[in-house]
Amino acid sequence: MIRIENVTYRYKKGKDILKDINLKIQDKETVAIMGKNGSGKSTLGKLLSGIIKPKEGTILIDDLDIAKKKNKEEIRNKIGIVFQNPENQIIFNNIEDEVSFALKDLEKREIEKRIKDSLRIVDMEDKIEEDLYELSLGQKQRVVISEVLAKQPKYIIFDEPTTMIDSKGKEKIYHIVENLKKEGYTIIYITNVAEEMLLADRIILLQEGKIVAEIKKEELLENLEILEQYDVKIPLILEVIKKLRQAGIKIDIDDYTTDELVTKIKEMIKNEK
C-alpha cells in the first residue's frame, strides 16, 4: 500500500505546488490522477517515485518512508515510472541493451528471461534486433514500459504516457495497462485525457495542488456534475451510456469502448424485433 500523509511540496522561494495531500492507494488498485496543467499531478508522480522529496508530510511505500536514504534502493526496486516522452528515458540504440540496463546484478539466464517476458507483454519481442531510434514514438514508449517491467516492480507510475503518441499507439498502451491490471500491478495513471480515466478503479481530481474529489469508477455516472464543476471533460462514451440508461437500456460502465457499445445496442435492437 502507498500512503501519502499531509504532504506539501513547493519549489525554492515559490508557492506550494501540492498542499496537504492525504491519499491511500491500495495494492492492485489502478488510480487515475487528473487535473489541468499546473494542478500538481506530475509533481505528485515524481514524489511517489522518489525523484523529489516532500517538504512537509510523509510518503510511505509498504511502510517504508520514501524520504529516508536507507530505504532508497528498496523503494527504487518497488516502483517504476514511465514519462510522456520515451526519448528522455532511452539511453541505448539497442533494444536488448536498453531493457537489460537495470538488470546487471542478475544472472545471465534470468536477464534473458526478463528481457523476453517484458518485451512479450508489450508486443515488441519481434523488434528486438531493430535500432531503437528508428522506431515510432509509440514503439519506443512500449520499449520503455518493458524496461520498467523487467525490473519487476510492484507499483508502476504512468505520467501522461500517451501525450506524444498517435491514436493507434494509444490503443496499444491502453491494452498494456489493462493487462497489467489483470496481472495484479498497482498502477498510478497520471493524465489530462478524459477517456483515460476509464482505465482506473478510482479517479483523483487535483486543482491548484489540492485533492478536490475522489470518485470510484462505478460511481462516475452518478457524479458527472463533479467532473463538470472542475472543468474535466466528460468522455463521450459516458454521456452515451447515461442517455441509454435513461432510456431504459441497461449498459454496464465497463462496456466503455465504442465497439462494445455498438455491439450491445445491435443485440438489443435484434432482440426487440
Neighbouring residues of 25: CB distance < 8 A, sequence distance ≥ 6: 1, 2, 31, 186, 188
In percent, the amount of the chain with pLDDT more than 90 equals 76
Kindly report, as residue ranges, where domains of CATH 3.40.50.300 are found in the chain. 2-230
State how far the Cα of 107 lies from the Cα of 188, in Å rounded to an integer: 30
Question: Sign of torsion, CA 160 166 168 169?
Answer: negative
3-state secondary structure 10-62: ECCCCCEEEEEEEEEECCCCEEEEECCCCCCHHHHHHHHHCCCCCCEEEEEEC
State how far the Cα of 6 lies from the Cα of 109, in Å rounded to an integer: 44
23 phi, psi to nearest 5 deg: -160, 140
DSSP-derived letter for residue 105 is T
In percent, the amount of the chain with pLDDT more than 70 equals 93
pLDDT digits (tens, 9 = 90+) for 213-235: 999 999 998 999 999 999 898 88
pLDDT at residue 251, rounded to an integer: 74
Binning pLDDT at 50, 70 and 90, where does residue 246 land? Answer: confident
Binning pLDDT at 50, 70 and 90, where does residue 98 land? Answer: very high
pLDDT at 256 over 60: no
> What average pLDDT does range 147-161 have in this prediction?
97
pLDDT at 273 over 60: no
State how far the Cα of 256 lies from the Cα of 235, in Å rounded to an integer: 10
Name the nearest CA neighbour of 3 among 62, 67, 81, 68. 62
Does residue 147 contact residue 101 with C-beta atoms inside 8 Å?
yes
C-alpha cell at 164: 506524444
4 phi, psi to nearest 5 deg: -110, 120
pLDDT at residue 255, rounded to an integer: 60
State how far the Cα of 85 lies from the Cα of 89, in Å rounded to an integer: 8
68 phi, psi to nearest 5 deg: -90, 130
pLDDT at 261 over 80: no
Topology of the domain comprising 2-230: Rossmann fold (3.40.50)
pLDDT at 238 over 90: no
